[in-house]
Amino acid sequence: MMSRADLGSAAWWSEAAARGTPLLCAADDADGTHEVTFLWRAAPSAQASAVYIDVYSHTPHPSTGPAELRQHAGTDVWSWSTRLPSDWRGSYFLMPVGPDRPAPEQGGGAALRRWWISLLETNAQADSLNRQPSHGGSWGQPLSALLLPDAPVHPAWTEAGQPQGRLQRYRWQSAALGIARDTWIYRTAPQAQASDPLLAVLLDGHYWARQVNLFGALDALTAQGKLPPAVYLLVDAVSPERRAQELPCNAPFWNALQRELLPPAHALEPFTAQAGRTVVAGQSFGGLAAAYAALHWPGRFGNVLSQSGSFWWPDASDTASGGWLAGEVERGLAAGMPLRFLLEIGCYEDSMLGPNHSFYRALCAAGHRAELREVRGGHDWLCWRDGLLEGLCELMKDFDWIQQP
């Protein structure tokens, strides 16, 4: 379509809308990739001097210079093309910028990053011509889904109906942490007779409670016998700043969660006190936090689902070792405890692959039951939401439970 003589005409845009964006060319059998073209249409009154695109785990990090669409002369068409594998799944957004907010010419990557972040809240937008439902990121920012023909999609998301379990919302006012936050307590199959149902603690609970139909998906998997009846405790991260403070290996956060949150949550919806029947799951900083919790409190958290764990912490330039936490494991932290770890990392998360592999090796050398899965995906909620369901099913299938009729 990009070579047509009527590029930018009403008929051309009508066909682009009918096909849906981004535009795909047939797969190259030689390497199994598609040429993918993203579009943005300038409004008559628009004053965009640049249009940027962020394809998660594919475009350059904004601090090194963001990817920029080009305007086709004499038209209202802006486009950017790339090649992606046929099983690509991921999120992206478009960001038009006016002449009053140009990219900084000085200050290096730090200045570019500050400029980019300042634009996200007001300028980032989903692709209006993308026929997939738009979704929200960690804090609700608009995103579009890119699912190429061979992309895996967990069937539970399409099977999920209205939640059928018991949902309770609890406002956790933490004296120890000096802040209040929402938590969600969800009991699947509440009609099942279980005196101490399994517990799964999900970090970044604000995302799971507000951005996707997680409760409906859990119900579907429970009804199919792929998950046992369980209690899911979702914990809000409050803000990006608070999240960055509390999740990277923070003992006060976990002490407060155990002393201040678990008892009232248990009073509202009883759940197991056994570490071996408890899962803690998180993504990125949350994946690091989940592993930290189990290693430091193995008597409470016996199973870990870490997705794209930030095991480079505290040194972002560390792309090889398993970071500080791997060092703690090597020095004997939680030695001899029956802990189980399921680590998931996307094959496109270049700088995070090394730390995850190193952390996995440290766990194995220390005698823990660990598995590392390198999946086709990136640092992206669109990948993590499938991995969360798969990981919960994997970790919980070995638990001693009986599905009630």
More confident residue, 64 or 350: 350
Q: What is the mean pLDDT of residues 363-381?
A: 96
My answer on whether 141 and 255 are in the same domain is no
- 179 domain residue, yes or no: yes
Q: What is the mean pLDDT of residues 150-173?
A: 95
Instruction: Dig out the tokens for 97 from the structure.
Output: 């910028």
My answer on whether 89 and 110 are in the same domain is yes
pLDDT of 161 > 50? The answer is yes
pLDDT of residue 159: 94
pLDDT of residue 400: 54
Which residue segment(s) compose the domain that 62 sits in? Answer: 10-147
pTM: 0.93
Here the CATH number for the domain that contains residue 263 is: 3.40.50.1820
Q: What is the mean pLDDT of residues 325-330?
A: 98
- 2 domain residue, yes or no: no
My answer on whether 132 and 229 are in the same domain is no
My answer on whether 160 and 34 are in the same domain is no
- 196 domain residue, yes or no: yes
pLDDT of 61 > 60? The answer is yes
- 404 domain residue, yes or no: no
> Mean pLDDT lowest for which of 97-101, 192-196, 269-273, 330-334?
192-196
Instruction: Dig out the tokens for 152 from the structure.
Output: 């895996």
Contact between 400 and 198 (Cβ < 8 Å): no
Q: What angle do CA 211, 212, 214 make, to 5 degrees?
A: 135
pLDDT of residue 43: 85
pLDDT of residue 404: 34
Q: What is the mean pLDDT of residues 16-35?
A: 87
| Other Cβ atoms within 10 Å of 122 Cβ, number | 9
My answer on whether 170 and 235 are in the same domain is yes
Cα–Cα distance between 294 and 9 in angstroms, integer?
59
Band of pLDDT at residue 108, cut at 50, 70 and 90: confident
Contact between 252 and 176 (Cβ < 8 Å): yes
Distance between first and last Cα of the chain: 56
- 4 domain residue, yes or no: no
Question: What Å distances lie between residue 135 and 52, 72, 167, 211, 258, CA to CA?
Answer: 19, 29, 22, 7, 32
Domain finish residue from 125, 147, 169: 147
My answer on whether 232 and 353 are in the same domain is yes
pLDDT of residue 106: 80
Give the chain's mean pLDDT: 93
pLDDT of 403 > 90? The answer is no
Of the candidates 326, 265, 277, the one whose C-alpha atom is nearest the C-alpha of residue 303 is 277
pLDDT of 157 > 70? The answer is yes
More confident residue, 25 or 280: 280
pLDDT of residue 36: 96
Query: Where does 67-183 have alpha helices with state H?
Result: 108-123, 156-159
Domain tally, the chain: 2
Q: What is the mean pLDDT of residues 69-89?
A: 95
Summarised one tens digit per residue, pLDDT across range 126-149 is 999 999 999 999 888 899 999 999
Band of pLDDT at residue 314, cut at 50, 70 and 90: very high
Q: What is the mean pLDDT of residues 284-311?
A: 98
- 172 domain residue, yes or no: yes
- 5 domain residue, yes or no: no
Domain finish residue from 130, 147, 164: 147
- 17 domain residue, yes or no: yes
Domain finish residue from 98, 130, 147: 147
Here the CATH number for the domain that contains residue 33 is: 2.60.40.10
Instruction: Dig out the tokens for 153 from the structure.
Output: 């999609």
My answer on whether 78 and 206 are in the same domain is no
Band of pLDDT at residue 47, cut at 50, 70 and 90: confident
pLDDT > 90 fraction of the chain, expressed in percent and rounded: 84
Contact between 346 and 283 (Cβ < 8 Å): no
My answer on whether 122 and 178 are in the same domain is no
My answer on whether 177 and 288 are in the same domain is yes
pLDDT of 369 > 90? The answer is yes
My answer on whether 193 and 317 are in the same domain is yes
My answer on whether 191 and 327 are in the same domain is yes
Q: What is the mean pLDDT of residues 213-225?
A: 97
My answer on whether 126 and 227 are in the same domain is no
